[in-house]
Structure 1
Amino acid sequence: MNATAVAPARALVVDDNEMNRDVLSRRLQRSGHAVEVVDSGERALARLKLQNFDLILLDVMMPGIDGYEVLARLKQDPALRHIPVIMISALGETESVVRCLALGADDYLTKPFNPLILQARVDACLIKKRMHDGEMRHLQSMEREFEIGRAIQAGFLPESLPAMAGWDVAVRFRPARQVAGDFYDLFATQSGGIFIVVADVCDKGVGAALYMALFRTLIRATASQPFPEGTDATAILLATATLTNDYIARIHGRANMFATAFLGILDARTGSLMYVNAGHDPPLIASAEGGRRRLGLTGPALGLLAEQRFTVGMTHLGVGDLLLGYTDGVVESVGIEGAFGEARLLEALLDLQGSSDRMLQRIEAALDAFGDGAEASDDITMVALRRTAAARAL
């Protein structure tokens, strides 16, 4: 047995001529390959459904389904298109060669063929197949790792939204990739308020996702700690923003990672909202009467520089008012007309009828229609809170 340049493989020889099948199979077997033979295109396609092969040697001229048709069907089948195909024919015309290559053949040999050339081309195709198989295994391994990362990241988002009498709350979280740099959070504070977070870590992918976990943990751990009795919302917000900012800037400054974040504490009973907007897209408050106002910046993004100064803003949500916090993936969503933009977002908020969830559905529909099926370029996160009743009416 002659040594072969590649590991033994399983080959399928397809030829209606018994002598050609015999010659090809003996040549391949001498190189250590396992060989199966069939005498027609129909039998080849049936066999390929039952058995995995590493290489196909396919005769061009056969009665019934000829080699061209078999090749075309192979390359149209996602499960088979990766198998290398060497076309074998007595025809040496350029037109036949071009046709086979255009259909996706990996090589072309004319009869009678030189055994050394046959082996060289078989080896080349099998090396290509091995490389493809290795790449697929690597991609599958990466996908598995991303699945694990996606599941872990999902654990950093709240399992359920806090129940607030007189309030209707809904959220959306749509990563552009397997893992995201966006995050949101809603949880009760020690003082009885509802802490609201909508944030976006710079960059995308795995790095942003890792820092998303760090930012989210710092924010929740700080805001949830047992503050001294009587500590008000302003102090909690400032402590949360300052500690998160300084830790990232001092410990991880060389990574140049930062997050824009909206941090708020809502008094569900009164509708009072205290907030820090750290470089984030200003959330919108829409009233049933048509008024629109934004909660502007009160400090820089978190993690850029230590010892930054933050201030606390204050607003009030009346019955019927809707608070919409979102990340820049909403307004910067790309379509054939450019970016979605704030004007389209405001247009989606013209009709405040229905629940908060229904409102987010309308925005999502507008984004999908604008993108016209294009792959999302950035993560999209939205948090909507609507005040449905005053405390005294409960």
Structure 2
Amino acid sequence: MPLPDAKGGVSMQHAPARLLVVDDIEVNRELLVRRARRLGHESGTAEDGLDALAQLRAAPWDLVLLDITMPRMDGYETLRQIKADSALAHIPVIMVSAIDEIDSVVRCLELGADDYVTKPFNPVLLQARIEAALAKKRLADQRQAVLDALERELTLARRIQRGFLPLALPQVAGWSLAAHFEPARHVGGDFYDVVPLADGRLGLAIADVCDKGVGAALYMALFRTLVRSQLSNAPPGAPAGPLLSQSLAFVNDYIAREHGRDNMFATLFVAVLEPATGALAYANLGHDAPVLRGAAGGLRRLPPGAPACGLMPGLRPAVEAVAIAPGESLLMFTDGVTECRGAEGEFGEARLLAMLALDAATASDLAGALRTALSVHAGDCAAHDDLTVLCLMREA
């Protein structure tokens, strides 16, 4: 947008703006067009509101100089429609009218006009109003450009983070697996993983990194990579207990020593499953206790046996063992599930445990029912925390 320099000329500090002059009287249009051109701006004209709206929707404009008294559609209705249209509402509108009554000024400002100039207008005053409106729009455009760039970056980050999660869960004879991941923001700090080991066993992991957003997502990628690399590189036949203990000790010490200044940590539940027998060795580092549902419907929790991972070096997590019998299932989840907020408050553990009473034939059925229940509970409420579920079920 050009600005007058000290000698009255035009400084091309900014590109010329495009002004649309809307007036039913030709001499008024010509006068405003000449004024706009003297200021270094491009201009176009419209004879009434209908013509103006058509031109505004057909090409980009930076400012509208709008008369009030016009045939077919007056300035009030034109202004109302401009501001009601999301594609046009950002364009500043200056009313230029012979009506100098305060009621008209107030009405236009209430409808969204940026300014009001009466005819016959003072050229210096009109110039000041035009430049002020364009400066305001330029700042708004710059802000929107930054927001659009940020949105693109976050969309890319979300796509990359999705790539850290399994594209498809392994198919294991006699078992079914299902998962659901829903970040509270574009990216989140939760993750789940299912890692096939070289000897046919499965590594299972679910975690919740402290905090939310981009910082948590970066550490999510680090935690997930460390856990996966430790499990996937395990030698065939390595005893599950020492494997888990050593792997998680390494992850904990790396985070605590190399990144302790960031005070980042994660709650982790990591397990090794022997599909043939149903034997499950696990370590719970500060994570919400998964729920093991027996074939007869009884519930057993697998509570934490160590603090969260990454808090302090030297942590050696305890490893426990259970057996998953035919017809039994294991539900692993993050606290975003129980703390999911809706109009009635939090979803809560009681409602989660009640979901396990459903007669779900597969892990996918159970995860799907839980996802639906959470969605209904949340309604229109904004997500409060990342939400992750990993479900394992042994066929009866």
Q: Name the TM-score class by shorter chain.
A: over 0.9
1:333 paired with 2:334, answer no
1:348 corresponds to which of 347, 355, 380:
355
* Alignment of 1:96 onto 2:107: no
Q: Distance in 2 between matches of 1:204 and 1:253?
A: 18
Report the Cα offset of residue 295 of structure 1. 0.6
Q: Distance in 2 between matches of 1:173 and 1:191?
A: 28
Q: Shift in Å at residue 6 of structure 1?
A: 5.3
Q: CA RMSD in A?
A: 1.5
**Structure 2 equivalent of residue 371 of structure 1:** 378
* 1:191 positional shift: 3.9
Q: One-letter code of the match for 1:41?
A: G
Instruction: Output the CA distance in 2 between the equivalents of 1:352 and 1:277.
Output: 27
Normalised to the residue count of structure 1, the TM-score between the two structures is 0.95
| Contact 2:278/2:325 (<8 A) preserved | yes
Q: Is the 8 A contact 1:11 1:54 kept in 2?
A: yes
What is the identity percentage for the equivalent residue pairs of Structure 1 and Structure 2? Answer: 50
Q: 2:131 aligns with which of 115, 123, 147?
A: 123
- 2:262 alignment counterpart: 255
5+ residue gaps, structure 1, are 390-394
Match of residue 82 from structure 1: 90
User: Is it true that 1:10 corresponds to 2:23 in the alignment?
Assistant: no
For the pair 1:209 / 2:217, whether they are aligned, the reply is: yes
Task: Give TM-score, length-normalised by structure 2.
Answer: 0.94
2:68·2:96 contact (CA, 8 Å) conserved in 1? yes
Which residue does 1:283 correspond to in 2?
290
Q: SS of the counterpart of 1:319?
A: coil
**Matches of 1:94 and 1:261, distance apart in 2:** 66
1:131 Cα offset (Å) = 1.0
2:33 counterpart residue number: 25
Aligned partners of 2:204 and 2:299: how far apart in 1? 20
Q: Are residue 312 (structure 1) and residue 312 (structure 2) matched?
A: no
Which residues of structure 2 form unaligned runs of 5+?
1-7
Q: Is the 8 A contact 2:270 2:284 kept in 1?
A: yes
| Cα displacement (A) at 1:14 | 0.5
Partner Cα separation in structure 2 for residue 302 and residue 177 of structure 1: 23
- In the alignment, which of 138, 141, 150 is matched to residue 133 of structure 1? 141
The answer as to whether partners of 2:197 and 2:234 remain within 8 angstroms in 1 is: no
Structure 2 contact 194–203 (Cα < 8 Å) conserved: yes
CA distance in structure 2 between the aligned counterparts of 1:375 and 1:329, rounded to whole angstroms? 12
The counterpart of 1:107, out of the listed 74, 90, 115, is 115
Query: Does structure 1 residue 38 correspond to structure 2 residue 15?
Result: no
Shift of 1:379: 1.1
Within 2, Cα distance between the matches of 1:40 and 1:351? 65
Residue type of the partner of 2:50? E
On the 8 A contact 1:6/1:127 being kept in 2, the answer is no
**Aligned pairs (5 A) from 1:225-240:** 225-227=233-235, 230-240=237-247
Match of 2:178 in 1: 170
How far apart, CA to CA, are the structure 2 residues paired with 1:279 and 1:353? Answer: 28
Q: Which position in structure 2 is the counterpart of 1:48?
A: 56
**Matching residue of 1:156:** 164
CA distance in 2, matches of 1:344, 1:108: 58
The equivalences for 1:379-394 within 5 A come to 379-389=386-396
Within the candidate set 280, 290, 293, 1:273 is matched to 280
2:75 to 53, 67, 79: 67
2:207 to 199, 214, 232: 199
- Tell me, yes or no, if the aligned pair for 2:286 and 2:307 is still in contact at 8 Å: yes
Matched, 1:242 2:253: no
Shifted more, 280-289 versus 50-59: the winner is: 280-289
Query: Counterpart amino acid of 2:25?
Result: N
1:192 deviates by: 2.8
The 1-side partners of 2:65 and 2:325 are apart by: 75
Post-superposition offset of 1:298: 1.2
SS for the counterpart of 1:155 is helix
2:361 matches 1:358: no
How many residues in Structure 1 have an aligned counterpart in Structure 2?
Answer: 388
